[in-house]
Chain A
Amino acid sequence: MSIIDVGYICLVGSLILAVYSGLSSLFGSYFQSPPAQSRGLNTAYLIGLLMAIASSTLVYSFISQDFGVRYVALHSNKAMPFYYTVAAFYSGQEGSLLYWATLLSVFWGITVFVKRMHRDNLTSYANILMMPILIFFFSILIFKANPMERLPMAMTDGQGLNPLLRDPGMLIHPPMLLAGYLSWTIPFVFGIGALISGDHRGDWVSSIRKPTLIAWALQSAGLVLGGWWAYHVLGWGGYWGWDPVENVALLPWLTGTAFLHSIMVVERRKKLQIWSISLLIATFSFSIFGTFIVRSGILSSVHNFAESEVGHYFLAFFAISLLGSIVTLLFTSRFMKENGTFDSATSKESGFLVNNTIFIALSFATFWGTVYPMVSEALGDQRITVGAPFYEKVNGPLFALLLLLMGVGPLLNWNHTSYSSLKQKFLPPIIVSILVIAFLFLLIDSLIAAISFGICSFALISIISEYARATKSRANLTGQNHIRSLLSLVSVDRRKYGGYLIHISIVIMAIGIISSSGFQTKQEVNLIKGQELNIGRYTLTYSGTATIREADKNSVVSQILVKQKGSTYTSVMHPKTQYYDNFISQPTSRVAILSFPMEDLYIFQSGVGDDSATFAIFINPLIILVWVGSSMIIMSLFIIFWPSKKDNI
């Protein structure tokens, strides 16, 4: 018996325990027996532990290069550096499902542990719902996609990791995104649990505040890292292409972000409860849908997609969980106390409602564009595909509206905001943004861009003025100086002022996105050795191409000298194409990027001739703001999460 068999035993053990835990919680809740409820919840720790062990045995097999394990032989080889074990772990179907199941088990164990002091019926009900989900994943792993399977005969060396995945971005992007997907399961089981348990007062919201933020954080980080990876590997000069797989990753983020906002209305005004739970159902379903799509390849292929067996089970699971949740919602929602009054258009809750409408519109448009090829084929004879232009036309204006709302929302009061207060608060940002639009229109001669930047400046100014107003009144109240007041303001109400910090980060990102996509310079050229090219403020000289042998690959590397106008300093850029020995038919490029504060010079090597080579050269203005903004989002989340003294869950 080898170590991987221990992992398999743990997997089987987890399945048995999950059945026990679910039944125990069900029994305990039905007959109102606290000991049985406790047993059910305590078992969750054990499941988390066993799954952690199961995953560790697979990691160990990778590290010890046990090519007798089928999965290890398929996804790694001797030449693979140690740190790519992480990527190898999730690179196949079996491994990514194991990762999903393990992380969810561990997260659930932690959630149950955190709530150990105030265990209520709700947690038990959540457990009843969580266990079938885990049972589904454990069963798939054991019966259909077993990562612990052994080969009849061990191989001398493995096949190696897919070249596309051999990149630092790939070490963290997919695991982050998958972690984001699966984390939504926890708010989901609490939300549905609240419906079933009869906790209709909205208290469930406080149980899921942190899990929701964590899920959102992981998912946002996953998306941004995906964009970053695409930018420096795929070579088309951008970071987001509205590809079907990207779209399905975005969908749960859109509905999840809507949920993040609507629960604030539930908490403060006891409104939008049923709506919020519907958003949770959508987010969870989109997450399962996403995992299924990414794992089955159903959307990317032409006509005859190779359907894996696991795909069918996922589809069935998706349908059952969606139908089950909707039926539960229909039957129990009438017990839910709901205050559906929205009698002022200028109140914070109305702002959130409009925010939610836009997010739903975005989700619908993205979903429709993604499934439209299949729908159009089913309804007519023609398969109509939509690409990036569709999403730019539909989602672009909606995102602009969302940015505008980001500036309006913080200035609105709960319940009602009077006209005079609106006028006083909005006049300065409106005047400034009109000036910005006028100035930029004269400068860059593009009305759409000028308006977009104007909206960004409106949002930025109105959020900053909200900080200023609150700081000033706090300083007056406490007698502290302004800097200390600002700091204590953020530390006292982390969710609010940390949240606004996220909004500022998003506006900064938006400025980067508008600049880099709207003002990109692109040139495709074939350069002969020694030839010069002028692009933007750079003079490029192509000095030749060489083939370099590295560990298990050949790299075809071109050298380009870069000189900026008016500068004597010369930089060197090396765009290259790599041919891995085991993946000769799948060359992968490494883009060369030279970053300046104001723009990136970006060179992709497309083909190499005898003494010439073809390149796509891009200049991406202000793209750095995309990465600055996204890093700021993560930092703001740390501020929100930082434990404070009076923090209780």
Chain B
Amino acid sequence: MDIQSGSKKFNKRLLIGIIVIITTTLYLISLSLDSASAVYMTPSQLIDSQINEERRLRLGGSVLEGSISYGETRLDLVFYVVDEEASVKVDYYGVVPDIFGDNAVVFVEGYFDRSSNIVNADLLLTKHPDTMEPLTENTLNSGYPKEY
């Protein structure tokens, strides 16, 4: 077949197939954005919000120092997630990531129980420090490594 610019025939079945793939993808995306997503909030936003108890919630903040208390098996625990203005109690069952602890930046996912003001979480993630560089410029320039 010779190269002819301008002549553009497009098979109907092929075109329909491509359109089906595209629309199915868009449909799946919109469907999953409703069913497989979570609303992100900080503790102070959660306190002010009218969030539905059935809406999945992602809460982000840091762990209040000294607030972690483990149950009998170390698998169930409660702690407070705080930001500058508010704190929310979190009830979580499961293993915790390596760097979970006082003041760790965490994200928990679960559902908010308005009557008791507790987030019942089934997912707990910690955020690693943004940089891989542990020292500040000042300590470096002083010429001494910082003691932790």
Contact = CB atoms under 8 A, between A and B. Distances in A.
Interface of A: 70, 73-75, 91-93, 151-159, 162, 164-165, 235, 270, 297, 300-303, 305-306, 337-345, 350, 353-354, 357-358, 361, 364-365, 368-369, 372-373, 382-387, 389-390, 392-394, 397-398, 401, 415, 524-526, 577, 582-589, 604, 606-607, 609, 612, 614-616
B87 interface: no
Nearest to B128: A164
A614 B33 contact: no
A385 B25 contact: no
Contact of A151 (B14, B36, B140): B140
Contacts of A612: 74
A393 B96 contact: no
A58 to B, nearest CB: 16
Given A342-B10, A526-B74, A612-B74, 9 more contacts: A74-B140, A302-B127, A338-B5, A341-B4, A386-B33, A397-B24, A401-B21, A584-B148, A606-B95
B31 A303 contact: no
Contacts, number: 196
B17 interface: yes
Given A153-B143, A524-B75, A586-B129, A383 B95 contact: no
Contacts of B10: 340-343
A173 to B, nearest CB: 14
A373 B21 contact: no
A351 B132 CA distance: 45
Contacts of A606: 74, 95-97
Interface of B: 1, 3-5, 7-11, 13-14, 17-18, 21-22, 24-25, 28-29, 31-33, 35-42, 58, 60-61, 70, 73-75, 94-99, 101, 105, 109, 123, 127-135, 140-141, 143-145, 148
Given A357-B21, A383-B39, A526-B75, A339 B4 contact: yes
A164 B131 CA distance: 12
A578 B16 CA distance: 56
A585 B132 CA distance: 13
A353 B14 contact: yes
Given A383-B40, A397-B28, A372 B140 contact: no
B14 A350 contact: yes
Contact of B132 (A165, A344, A589, A607): A165
Given A342-B9, A365-B25, A357 B18 contact: yes
Nearest to A334: B5
Nearest to A351: B14
A270 B36 contact: no
Contacts of B74: 526, 606-607, 609, 612, 614
A384 B28 contact: no
Contact of A394 (B29, B60, B130): B29
A256 B146 CA distance: 45
A559 B132 CA distance: 31
Nearest to A296: B130
Given A354-B21, A394-B28, A340 B8 contact: yes
B28 to A, nearest CB: 5
Contacts of A354: 14, 17-18, 21
A339 B143 contact: no
A300 B127 contact: yes
A636 B90 CA distance: 50
Contact of A415 (B1, B70, B144): B1
B95 A614 contact: yes
B14 A345 contact: yes
Contacts of A607: 70, 74, 95-96
B95 A604 contact: yes
A343 B11 CA distance: 5
Contacts of A392: 36
11 contacts: A93-B131, A301-B127, A302-B42, A302-B61, A302-B105, A373-B40, A383-B40, A384-B38, A415-B1, A587-B99, A612-B74
Contacts of B37: 372, 384-387, 390
B132 A162 contact: yes
B42 A303 contact: yes
A300 B105 CA distance: 12
Contacts of A369: 29
| Chain B CB within 10 A, most for which of A162, A300, A397, A612 | A162
Q: Give 4 nearest A-B pairs by CB, closest first.
A: A606-B95, A389-B36, A526-B73, A383-B40
| Chain A CB within 10 A, most for which of B31, B32, B94, B101 | B32
Nearest to A612: B74
A372 B60 contact: no
A614 B97 CA distance: 11
Given A74-B133, A300-B127, A607-B74, A154 B8 contact: no
B145 A582 contact: yes
Contacts of B144: 155
B42 to A, nearest CB: 7
